[in-house]
Amino acid sequence: MAMRSTEHAERSRGGVVAAWWNVVVCAALMIGIPIIALSRGLEPVNIVIAAAGFLVAGWMERRFVQNLREQRSQSRSRK
């Protein structure tokens, strides 16, 4: 049974603060993973690792920003 994203947002712990934390940490990963991978050189394997890390972190960032928006809209609707 698939859970709607709004149901998931209502269950998540920490609310808006945790959602902001996720967004900030994932943004650091989006920058850090490629820098770390490419600092070892420009061999093809390092470029692939940097690109894959960037894509995965970008996908996670998108989900975290979506969760943050849901958390903020829910906190505004409660007021």
How do residues 13-71 score in pLDDT, each as one tens digit? 677 788 888 889 999 999 999 999 999 989 999 999 999 999 999 999 999 899 888 88
Task: Determine, yes or no, domain membership for 1.
Answer: no
The residue among 41 and 7 whose pLDDT is bigger is: 41
Encoded tokens for 61: 């960032």
Predicted local distance difference test score (pLDDT) of residue 48? 94
Which burial class, exposed, middle or buried, applies to 57 when counting CB atoms under 10 A from its CB (0-12, 13-18, 19+)?
buried
The residue among 58 and 10 whose pLDDT is bigger is: 58
Task: Determine, yes or no, domain membership for 54.
Answer: yes
Task: Determine, yes or no, domain membership for 2.
Answer: no
Structural domain boundaries enclosing 47? 15-78
User: What is the band of 6 on the pLDDT scale with cuts at 50, 70, 90?
Assistant: low
Predicted local distance difference test score (pLDDT) of residue 50? 93
